[in-house]
Structure 1
Amino acid sequence: MQRVFVLDHNKQQLMPCHPARARKLLKKGKAVVIRRYPFTIIMKHRVGGDLQPIEIKFDPGSRTTGIALVGHFDRGSEVIWAGNLNHRGLQIKSNLNSRRSIRSSRRNRKTRYRPARFLNRLRPKGWLPPSLRSRVDNVKNWMLKLSRLVPLTEITIETVRFDTQKLQKPEISGVEYQQGELAGYELREYLLEKWGRQCAYCGAKNVPLEIEHIQARSKGGTDRVSNLTLACTPCNQEKGNKDIKDFLKRKKKRLKKIQAQAKAPLKDAAAVNATRYATGNVLKGFSLPITFSSGGRTKFNRLKLGYKKDHWIDAACVGESGSHVVILKTITPLIITAKGRGSRQKCSMNQYGFPRTGPKKYKRVKGFQTGDIVKAVVTKGKKIGTYVGRVVVRATRSFDIGIGKEKVSGIGYKYCQLIQRSDGYEYT
């Protein structure tokens, strides 16, 4: 199980404790629960205590960012808390497209609406689209949350998925890359992403793939990444040192696709790298020692230690300290899903752009607002039971409660008990 966060009487961070110890403190009345997600208790009388180094690690991703807290104890480095932070970048992009289409439709119908505006806003340095900026803001917010609950001493973040400069010129990077072992992980991971984890010649998936030279080295081919692809064993052996034009003379479409894709950079990698650099710059503002690492080193550490693939496990394996980190089998990550903090839209629209509902009057209904985490104990009616989840309030005073991917409708407000105020995230 994960450690429980502890605050002293003055709300200063103490070392996280084992859940069994937290239960004893709560049972004896020495502490009370101050926050449910992540679970945090506050001591009634104790002030101050001995602290040990705790490192926070991030593995930023396009859809999910892994977070891990690693305690550096005398017995070694150990993961004490972990979480998977699911972003809402795709939802933001979809909302922006929907708003754009509604505005365009109103203009085309000559409905009363402001005219289109072009080139009227200057983009500041480091500007990112809203869908990407939300990822950076989510990481920043959780760094801020955890820094208030845990005595953090350093930050480690995976800033680049692939170090493309080292792929192009390995000799610049030092002894480890010259030996080739870590460079092989960087290169292979890049090629897997670029070629879609399938054979470039036959399209086979879920089979062992080998690194293949498009132009054979015996015929002047180089080891640059632009001359490399992935092939299954049969295709690799059949091609040998043949010219690719002769090997694929009966598959002209595939030949044209390989030639174009070999020269083109990996756009997804460039986008992810841009977001990770922005995330790294944001974390620099927390005045803690910060270390940057690459995805190749993360994968190298994880495979060396024999851990399975997961975002929070990758976060634990980031950087030099990830080469000897211990992850107990009892650790279960907290799943954090970004949901936003509501909408400024006055009323909902139908598919044709006409108002579907009236303007919203109140943000809170009977003391609850959308996004609050509540516990509902229904004692009568068709929906008898206990429900805990994120609430959606309605002016009719009949609420919906989301429990993971499921939703229970028609729960009266009188049955609801507030657990935690809305902070823009859902927890499972």
Structure 2
Amino acid sequence: MQVYILDASGRPLMPTTRIGHIERLLNRGMARIVTKVPFTVQLKYATAGITQPLYGGTDSGRTNIGEAVVDNNGSVLYKAHVETRNKEVPKLMAARKQHRQASRRGERLRKKRRAVKCGTITEFPEGHMIPGCKKPVMIKDIINTESRFANRKRVTGWITPTVRQLVQTHLNMVHKICRILPITDWTIETNRFAFMKMDDGGIRGVDFQNGRLKNYKDSHEYIYSIQEGKCAYCNSSIEHYHHIVPRSKGGSDTPENLIGLCNLCHDKVHKGELSLENTGLKKKYAALSVLNQAIPYIIEGLVEMFGEENVHFCEGYETQMARDSLGIDKDHPEDAACIALLGSGITEVHNNVETCEIRQFRRHDRQHIKAQRERTYYLNGKAVCKNRHKRFEQKDDSLEEFRKKHPSDVKRLTVKKSVRYYNAADRLMPGTVFSCQGQRQVMSGQLTGGKYLRAVGDIKTNYPSSQCLVLKRNAGLVYL
């Protein structure tokens, strides 16, 4: 068992396996426990602070990351497997977009009601040119403000939220390890993936420039050419490029997953009135694509931490050769140990430390509304329709459709209004560390309005919150 040690000022020292000596220091009040996982103590007296060179290594990934630290003798002092939440980021961005659009839609409806009340409704039969738009927009009631996208500018070095989160996760993990170990050098495995070659091993040289989208601006222009600009159902002009497998479910932006539709047919597809064969492609190599973009920024962060001369690189084939020569099984922490060895130049390894399991949780959730129930109409106690008008992708009948089908029953309907449920501002977030009956647990969720807590890895036990002691609120990267 490795015990990680901090000096009196909080700087990391060399770890030790002298458990008995650490126990005596704790009993005499000469040290205190900082964390139990991993077990870290801080000394209360002055020390010389002498350390040795330590070498860290990262086996980068999108969902699974391996981390390891070795010393001059090839002994592994730290190993960790990190499970990230990077795949959640696109879903959260899509949800934020929906909330933003709903808010702006509410603003437009409010303006429209005010225009009706004041008698200032204006019609533009030929369309109105809104600042920021390339072509006239058909407006029936009011003049909209300047398009929001016209005011958005990306700063130099902008990267997508998914890539940015992955870069921050890698660097935060390195910072976390450096708080308990005096690491001097770091090594990272760098790979650039050629996706066309992964699909077709026969691709060589200039073939990379002669893909199917050559001479086309993007996938939309390619689909427009293939379908000759006509909707796949009614031969009207293409107005929308529909994803056969939705992007929210992992659908790709490749031509195999796109089909050109007019707006009318597109609405029918989402309402279930028209069906498409669910044959689109899911995002292939999505994790590798994100890594391709993230690696340069991770390297930049490592250079800032350790200095250019102390950051080393290796390729995937080198890691495999080192793993085979040392007889180590393939795993993310084991690969990280091999990567650390490659950066240090050490050719032997003494791997006798347990792997730490780390999971990443969402730290902040400022969403005020937890859930919102739809307006529901009942007939003789049975729900028969929802909402006055059909919402996007609604399968059930709306009140408008029910009125057409059963006009004589409309007056007999009872209404249950839309209800909002709100989040408490001071609620505990998943990832909070708590203790119940002396056992350390990591919270995965709450039940019955927070009266009971659930723990990671234990889906059956309900821990009464009144009997639980919160040790540490969610810190993002949490040791399980």
Normalising by the smaller structure, the TM-score range is 0.5 to 0.7
TM-score between both structures, scaled by the size of structure 2: 0.59
Deviates further, 332-341 or 142-151 = 142-151
Query: Does the alignment pair 1:311 with 2:332?
Result: yes
* Deviation of 1:24 (Å): 4.8
Change (3 A) 1:389 1:271: closer
* Equivalent position of 1:156 in the other structure: 187
* Equivalent position of 1:60 in the other structure: 60
Gaps of at least 5 residues in structure 2 are 112-143, 209-255, 257-283, 375-390, 392-417
* Deviation of 1:420 (Å): 3.0
* Equivalent position of 1:294 in the other structure: 315
What is the 5 A alignment of 1:14-413?
14-18=13-17, 20-21=19-20, 22-27=22-27, 29-72=29-72, 76-104=73-101, 117-161=148-192, 194-195=198-199, 269-288=288-307, 289-318=310-339, 319-321=342-344, 324-328=347-351, 330-350=352-372, 356-358=420-422, 360=424, 362-363=425-426, 371-377=431-437, 388-390=441-443, 392=445, 398-404=451-457, 406=459, 408-409=461-462, 411-413=464-466
Whether contact under 8 Å (2:361, 2:474) holds in the other structure is no
* Deviation of 1:53 (Å): 0.8
**Separation of aligned partners in 2, 1:61 and 1:355:** 41
**Separation of aligned partners in 2, 1:124 and 1:407:** 48
Letter in 1 for 2:175: L
Secondary structure (helix, strand or coil) at the match of 2:296 reads helix
Deviates further, 292-301 or 346-355 = 346-355
* Equivalent position of 2:239 in the other structure: none
Whether contact under 8 Å (1:194, 1:266) holds in the other structure is no
Whether contact under 8 Å (1:317, 1:325) holds in the other structure is no
Deviates further, 273-282 or 345-354 = 345-354
* Deviation of 1:106 (Å): 6.2
* Deviation of 1:99 (Å): 3.0
Change (3 A) 1:398 1:268: closer
* Equivalent position of 2:133 in the other structure: none
Change (3 A) 1:407 1:92: farther
* Deviation of 1:272 (Å): 1.4
Change (3 A) 1:65 1:112: farther
Secondary structure (helix, strand or coil) at the match of 2:363 reads coil
Letter in 2 for 1:374: F
**Separation of aligned partners in 2, 1:416 and 1:266:** 43
* Deviation of 1:68 (Å): 0.6
Secondary structure (helix, strand or coil) at the match of 2:436 reads strand
**Separation of aligned partners in 2, 1:300 and 1:307:** 10
Change (3 A) 1:223 1:103: closer
**Separation of aligned partners in 1, 2:329 and 2:286:** 27
Whether contact under 8 Å (1:6, 1:43) holds in the other structure is yes
* Equivalent position of 2:476 in the other structure: 424
Letter in 2 for 1:363: D
**Separation of aligned partners in 2, 1:335 and 1:111:** 50
**Separation of aligned partners in 1, 2:344 and 2:155:** 36
Gaps of at least 5 residues in structure 1 are 165-189, 201-211, 215-221, 227-256, 258-264, 379-385
Change (3 A) 1:267 1:130: closer
Letter in 2 for 1:417: L
* Deviation of 1:286 (Å): 1.0
Secondary structure (helix, strand or coil) at the match of 1:51 reads coil
Letter in 2 for 1:70: V
Aligned pairs, number: 326
* Deviation of 1:374 (Å): 0.8
* Deviation of 1:292 (Å): 1.9
Deviates further, 113-122 or 44-53 = 113-122
Whether contact under 8 Å (2:433, 2:440) holds in the other structure is no
Change (3 A) 1:119 1:60: farther
Deviates further, 140-149 or 401-410 = 401-410
* Deviation of 1:39 (Å): 2.4
* Deviation of 1:295 (Å): 1.8
Change (3 A) 1:83 1:138: same
Letter in 2 for 1:390: M
Secondary structure (helix, strand or coil) at the match of 2:77 reads strand
Whether contact under 8 Å (2:433, 2:473) holds in the other structure is yes
* Deviation of 1:311 (Å): 0.9
Partner deviation per Cα, 1:74-119 (whole Å, 9 max, x = no partner):
xx22211011121111111112223334544566686669998324
Partner deviation per Cα, 1:48-85 (whole Å, 9 max, x = no partner):
3431111111111121111111111xxx2221101112
Deviates further, 318-327 or 13-22 = 318-327
**Separation of aligned partners in 2, 1:407 and 1:128:** 41
Change (3 A) 1:299 1:351: farther
Partner deviation per Cα, 1:252-281 (whole Å, 9 max, x = no partner):
xxxxx9xxxxxxx97754431221111111
Change (3 A) 1:78 1:375: same
TM-score between both structures, scaled by the size of structure 1: 0.65
Letter in 1 for 2:299: G
* Deviation of 1:19 (Å): 6.2
**Separation of aligned partners in 2, 1:411 and 1:100:** 37
**Separation of aligned partners in 1, 2:37 and 2:150:** 43
Whether contact under 8 Å (2:5, 2:180) holds in the other structure is yes
**Separation of aligned partners in 2, 1:338 and 1:52:** 30
* Equivalent position of 1:171 in the other structure: none
**Separation of aligned partners in 2, 1:391 and 1:269:** 29
Letter in 2 for 1:377: Q
**Separation of aligned partners in 1, 2:443 and 2:42:** 24
**Separation of aligned partners in 1, 2:449 and 2:8:** 41
CA RMSD of aligned residues (A): 3.7
Change (3 A) 1:24 1:292: same
The percent identity for this pair of structures is: 25
